[in-house]
């Protein structure tokens, strides 16, 4: 008999305390004589760690603000300061905090330098340019070439490597020290191991019934974003992997009745994560995987750090790739997770992630024969999401899955007798 889950993963407590300590440590960087960089999450920040620079990520900070329910208020502050509602809500949250809004971590430490890689979108260029101007510090940009075919050319690889070498020059000027390539190799080894455990954790979601839900992974995502390249991240993901593997061994079921298995495409609604997962679970559906998680499945090679980072940061991130290649990746995940359906988040203020959503909807249904639901929403601005509409559309979607599988309206029957 399968056991039903009733407890949180214990690793989540480790993750939470590591993230709290990470933000506190960064805020005190200056008192420890360390420089601070602000960086996009898709930047190969292992080069900054190798130079003993503390790195913080405004996107992660904004996501946390969103998860704590501060998104709408911070976005309004940014709009009062002149930003359009169409601008990425991560950028608006960041500007909102810089204009005096609340932050769960008391804000970010003032940067000495700002790093921006364009793997995810071009919005970040204007956003990080504004940050650099605001604090009067230098801006380093890594232009990541668009990846049309899924493969990266030698020319593109070299293009990224030469930009990273330029970044290393800027780091040397900032720190006044010669860059330590041996240290970079050590950091890359830790980064490689953490990424590997992270991938293995995600893959355990393929077990039927699933030992984890999307929430289990999302609440443990902070360290792979902010602490990759550290021993702490390795320890956390080793522990997470062992804990999920133990769940598999004892037949632990994460989401009660698992009648339908779903994959999520896009950034989650950070402010409504729990309610979406819970409602789906009540309807007998479990989110077992997400395309978003795979942006952090990166093959980095400690023996060839710059080139392998160039390759990894260009191929892992679907926002940097053609719709055709994204569909291929989704197909692989649907197969891996034996999924019945896909939920696409059509994200109002992240154009990059929502580009081609209608094509994706049509082609995924046609090519893989699974049902697809598109939900309008936003990653951080809760004003852009109608809770009632989301609930109604999810219920209708599950009803459709019921019909597809059983040829009759079992859910409606069930609801009508309640
Ligand atoms: S990819 Fe989307 S969410 Fe991320 S910074 Fe760009 S617009 Fe914002």
Tell me which long-range contacts 170-178 makes (C-beta under 8 A, separation of at least 24).
170/113, 170/138, 170/140, 171/47, 171/48, 171/51, 171/53, 171/113, 172/51, 174/35, 174/51, 174/53, 174/112, 174/113, 174/138, 175/35, 175/51, 175/52, 175/53, 177/51
Residue nearest to atom 6 of ligand 1 (CA): 121
pLDDT for position 410: 54
The CB of 220 under 6 Å from ligand 1? The reply is no
pLDDT for position 164: 96
As a whole number of angstroms, the distance between CA 143 and CA 159 comes to 9
Inter-residue contact 27 to 8 (CB < 8 Å): no
Percent above pLDDT 70 for the chain: 96
The pTM of this model reads 0.93
Element (H, E) at 189: helix 181-203
User: Would you place residue 37 in the very low, low, confident or very high pLDDT band (cuts 50, 70, 90)?
Assistant: very high
What is the whole-number distance in angstroms between the Cα of residue 339 and the centre of ligand 1?
A: 27
- CA-to-CA dists, residue 313 to 76, 114, 297, 316, 356, angstroms: 33, 18, 10, 6, 21
Q: Considering just the CA atoms, what is the radius of gyration of the chain in Å?
A: 21
Q: What is the pLDDT of residues 344-392, one digit of tens each?
A: 999 999 998 888 899 999 999 999 999 999 999 999 999 999 999 999 9
Inter-residue contact 267 to 346 (CB < 8 Å): no
The CB of 261 under 6 Å from ligand 1? The reply is no
Q: Which two tokens stand for residue 78?
A: 């940014």
As a whole number of angstroms, the distance between CA 117 and CA 68 comes to 27
pLDDT higher than 70, residue 86: yes
Q: What is the pLDDT of residues 287-324, one digit of tens each?
A: 999 999 999 988 888 999 999 988 888 777 788 888 88
Tokens 């992974």 sit on residue? 217
Tally the residues of the chain: 418
The CB of 379 under 6 Å from ligand 1? The reply is yes
Average pLDDT over residues 249-269: 93
Cis amide prior to 209 (ω within 30 degrees) = yes
């Amino acid at each position: 008999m399968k056991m039903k889950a009733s407890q949180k993963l214990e690793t989540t407590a480790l993750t939470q305390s590591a993230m709290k300590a990470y933000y506190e440590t960064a805020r005190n960087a200056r008192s420890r004589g360390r420089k601070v960089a602000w960086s996009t999450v898709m930047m190969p920040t292992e080069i900054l760690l190798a130079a003993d620079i503390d790195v913080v990520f405004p996107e992660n900070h904004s996501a946390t603000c969103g998860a704590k329910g501060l998104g709408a208020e911070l976005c309004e502050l940014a709009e009062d300061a002149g930003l359009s509602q169409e601008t990425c809500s991560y950028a608006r949250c960041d500007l909102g905090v810089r204009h005096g809004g609340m932050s769960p971590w008391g804000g970010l430490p003032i940067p000495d330098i700002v790093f921006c890689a364009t793997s995810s979108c071009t919005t970040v260029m204007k956003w990080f340019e504004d940050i650099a101007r605001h604090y009067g510090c230098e801006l380093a940009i890594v232009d990541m070439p668009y990846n049309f075919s899924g493969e990266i050319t030698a020319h593109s690889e070299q293009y990224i490597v030469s930009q990273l070498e330029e970044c290393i020059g800027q780091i040397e000027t900032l720190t006044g020290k010669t860059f330590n390539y041996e240290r970079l190799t050590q950091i890359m080894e830790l980064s490689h191991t953490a990424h590997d455990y992270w991938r293995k954790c995600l893959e355990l979601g393929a077990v039927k019934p699933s030992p984890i839900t999307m929430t289990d992974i999302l609440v443990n995502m902070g360290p792979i974003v902010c602490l990759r390249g550290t021993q702490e991240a390795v320890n956390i993901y080793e522990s997470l992997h062992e804990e999920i593997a133990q769940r598999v061994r004892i037949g632990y079921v994460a989401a009660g009745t698992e009648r339908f298995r779903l994959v999520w495409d896009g950034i989650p609604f950070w402010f409504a994560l729990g309610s979406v997962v819970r409602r789906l679970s009540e309807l007998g559906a479990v989110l077992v995987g997400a395309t978003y998680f795979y942006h952090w499945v990166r093959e980095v090679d400690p023996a060839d750090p710059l080139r392998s980072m160039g390759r990894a940061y260009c191929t892992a991130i679907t926002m940097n790739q053609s719709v055709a290649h994204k569909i291929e990746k989704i197909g692989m995940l649907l197969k891996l997770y034996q999924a019945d359906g896909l939920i696409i988040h059509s994200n109002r203020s992240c154009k990059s992630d929502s580009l081609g959503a209608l094509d994706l909807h049509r082609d995924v249904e046609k090519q893989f024969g699974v049902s697809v639901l598109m939900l309008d929403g936003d990653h951080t601005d809760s004003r852009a999401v109608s809770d009632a509409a989301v609930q109604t559309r999810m219920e209708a979607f599950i009803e459709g899955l019921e019909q597809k599988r059983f040829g009759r309206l079992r859910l409606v029957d069930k609801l009508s007798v309640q």
